[in-house]
Chain A
Amino acid sequence: MREFRSFVTKEFRHIFRDRRTVLIVLIMPVVQIVLFGFAISTEINNARVDIVGDLSDPSVRRIVTRIDNNGYLNIGKVYKNTADIDGRFRKGKADVAVCFENEFDDKLNSLGTASIRIIGDGSDPNSAQMIVNYVTGVINDEQGDIDVAWSGTGPSGSSTPAVKYMYNPGMLSSYNFVPGVMGLILMLICSMMTAVSIVKEKETGTMELLLVSPLKPVWIIVSKMIPYFTLSAVNLATILLLSRFVMHVPLRGSLLLLVFISLTFIVASLAIGLLISVISSTQKTALLISGMGLTMPTMIFSGIIFPCESMPSILQYVSDIIPAKWYIIMMKKIMIEGVGFGYMVKEYIILLAMTAFLLFVSTRLFKNRL
């Protein structure tokens, strides 16, 4: 027991005497959360809407005011000629253009129909689609009002679907990325740091001395894991606090359950780190493997950035073997949906099985010789 305590103390000394490590371990979660939270936002804010038409036309003016009043949309420039749209898009001064036909109000009142064309900037398809949806929504509202006005008091036969996004009515992307970043960070810190710290001992030759000592390899492994386990717990707390009080992501489910599942995931990540340390002989290799072989696939396949459901089926199978995917699914369920353990038994069993497998394989492969 004394051996073990002394080993763990030594590990903590390594960490705290290397400023770079401390910086990476403690600051990285904050940077990532802030980065994802503010810079890499997938939400639409202040989209610039150009109006092509005659503002003196009462119906046009009514719709334009409606657009202007929408929190996500701002009116850019108003002009008469559709040929100018191209120039505005090219200069990046507008995101979408709404074109009204001539004598819009007259046609609407006399013929009962008048046309509006919405032109989006397709060079960025994702945001174009979202902006166009917003604009369409606003115009649909106006359409509904007109229907009511014309058919008298009651609603007419036409029906407009009312869309509501449960759990995340504001469609905030932070609801998606906070669980994602949690998975990413824990994976990174636990795996990369454990791998590097074990491989470092191989590289400097101290592993030779550790192996020659009567210390059992399993204790070497456990002592290596404990400090990073602790650090990961600190990181988990940091992320949760940041997401709650800076990003305003709710924690609707049980905190205890969240911590319990996170600890399981941390053990899985530590086992992956151990596995990397077994197969790499230099710190560079370990870093490359955990960077390219772990972080990238985790980011791409765990559903943080691209939804797994829209991947080709082969890639969906690939995403199934990423532990972070299952962890993130459970985190979303706990934090956003607020459901209990009964709703994530399948995911948890998968994660637990992966953890057990990784732990078994990596401790088996850990050699007690050079």
Chain B
Amino acid sequence: MGIIDVNGIVKKYGEKTALDNVSFSVEKGEIFGLIGPDGAGKTTLFRILATLLLPDAGKASVEGHDTVTDFAAIRRSIGYMPGHFSLYQDLSVRENLEFFATIFGTTVEANYDNIKEIYSQLEPFGDRRAGALSGGMKQKLALCCALVHKPSVLFLDEPTTGVDAVSRKEFWNILYRIRSGGVTILVSTPYMDEASLCDRIALIQQGAIFETGTPAGIVSEYPYGLLAVKGKPVYPLLQFLRTCDGVVNCFSFGSECHAAIDSSVTGCSRLQRELSGAGFRNFSVREITPGVEDCFLQLSIRKRDGMR
């Protein structure tokens, strides 16, 4: 029995299925990441767990309280940070924080230790309207507001979306420190590179979870060899790689192409020869270890093919 238990949750919006039989469990004191692209159903799942939506089927519980029948108990003990900035833009930083502290029946002073670290960065802007803060600052303020009543479970829906790389890193450091206080954190993100920062992750797409485990565990199950091919022009290169013998699939990752290969058929040197033969110049091929994104793409292809 975990702190958060999700059991066969189904949620439909009219004809559209937003969540299709979702199940997972989160242990106490871990950072559990819900990884998936936009529209995968992450926000819907968060709202069900935060008792804001009713599931059409299945059961979910937070700290043993059912999200449907015992929602009042859950509302007292969780901190929730919605995906979009949801504070009062016309209130100042301090007023926002004080308001959210008060409606949870506490004060900023009483829980200052809990938020000190983040709030100290915001304090110079205490009198500034929340609407006039930068993106990163807004997210920090929202986190402060979600933390100010010392919740034991924290739901963070895409907390780093639209935040610059430096602030994101900082944000994760903050999460680690919150976790060290025994708080269970459920976080969602569309950024695959953040997946490896979580203790455990669930990969979700089109309302269904197709893999749950530690980031390392998921990566270790990657069934193919992986080559990163860099060269120009990118699109013809991608097209050509897909026709090569032994290449299972190939996707572009920024300026590179990641080619999943059957190592018994092809390899680094063979691919180099083939590329030269096809007239590509100034390219490089190197072997790499797969990341969570490679796994995600691989698994989503397998799922799609499985469905056919």
Q: Do A and B assemble together? A: yes
State A363–B232 Cα separation when bound (angstroms): 64
State A369–B104 Cα separation when bound (angstroms): 17
Decide yes or no whether B307 CB sits under 8 A from chain A.
no
Q: Mark A103-123, 1 if CB is under 8 A from B, else 0.
A: 000000000000000000000
Q: Which chain B residues numbered 62 to 99 have a C-beta less than 8 Å away from chain A?
A: 72, 75-76, 78, 80, 82, 84-91, 95, 98-99
Q: Please tell me which one of the listed residues A3, A13, A18, A214 contacts residue B75 in the complex, with CB atoms under 8 A apart.
A: A214
Q: CB-CB < 8 A to B219: which residues of A?
A: none
Residues of A within 8 A of B (CB-CB), count = 22
Residues of B within 8 A of A (CB-CB), count = 29
Decide yes or no whether B51 CB sits under 8 A from chain A.
yes
Q: Could you tell me the dominant secondary structure of chain B's interface residues? A: loop
Question: Which of A89-97, A151-159, A203-211 participates in binding chain B?
Answer: A203-211
Decide yes or no whether B165 CB sits under 8 A from chain A.
no
Decide yes or no whether A364 CB sits under 8 A from chain B.
no
Q: Please state if B98 and A6 are interface contacts (CB–CB under 8 Å).
A: yes
Decide yes or no whether A164 CB sits under 8 A from chain B.
no
State A6–B85 Cα separation when bound (angstroms): 21
Q: Please state if B86 and A205 are interface contacts (CB–CB under 8 Å).
A: yes
Q: Please state if A3 and B103 are interface contacts (CB–CB under 8 Å).
A: yes
Contact A209-B80, Cβ < 8 Å, known A10-B88, A17-B90 = yes
Q: CB-CB < 8 A to B84: which residues of A?
A: 205
State A212–B145 Cα separation when bound (angstroms): 12
Q: Please tell me which one of the listed residues B52, B88, B102 contacts residue A6 in the complex, with CB atoms under 8 A apart.
A: B102
Chain B residue at minimal CB-CB distance from A16: B90
Find the residue from B47, B90, B98, B145 having the highest chain A CB count within 10 A: B90
State A17–B75 Cα separation when bound (angstroms): 30
State A230–B284 Cα separation when bound (angstroms): 73
Chain B residue at minimal CB-CB distance from A212: B80
Q: CB-CB < 8 A to B72: which residues of A?
A: 214
Contact A6-B99, Cβ < 8 Å, known A14-B90, A369-B51 = yes
Contact A369-B89, Cβ < 8 Å, known A205-B82, A212-B75, A214-B72 = no
Q: Mark A1-15, 1 if CB is under 8 A from B, else 0.
A: 011001100100110
State A123–B91 Cα separation when bound (angstroms): 56
Q: CB-CB < 8 A to B91: which residues of A?
A: 10, 13-14
Supply 16 A–B pairs (Cβ within 8 Å), ascending by A: A3-B105, A6-B99, A6-B102, A6-B103, A7-B99, A10-B99, A204-B86, A205-B84, A205-B86, A212-B78, A213-B75, A213-B103, A214-B75, A214-B76, A369-B52, A369-B53
Q: A10-B99, A204-B86 are in contact. List 14 more A-B contacts (CB 8 A).
A: A205-B85, A205-B86, A208-B47, A208-B50, A208-B80, A209-B80, A211-B75, A212-B50, A212-B80, A213-B100, A369-B52, A370-B47, A370-B52, A370-B53
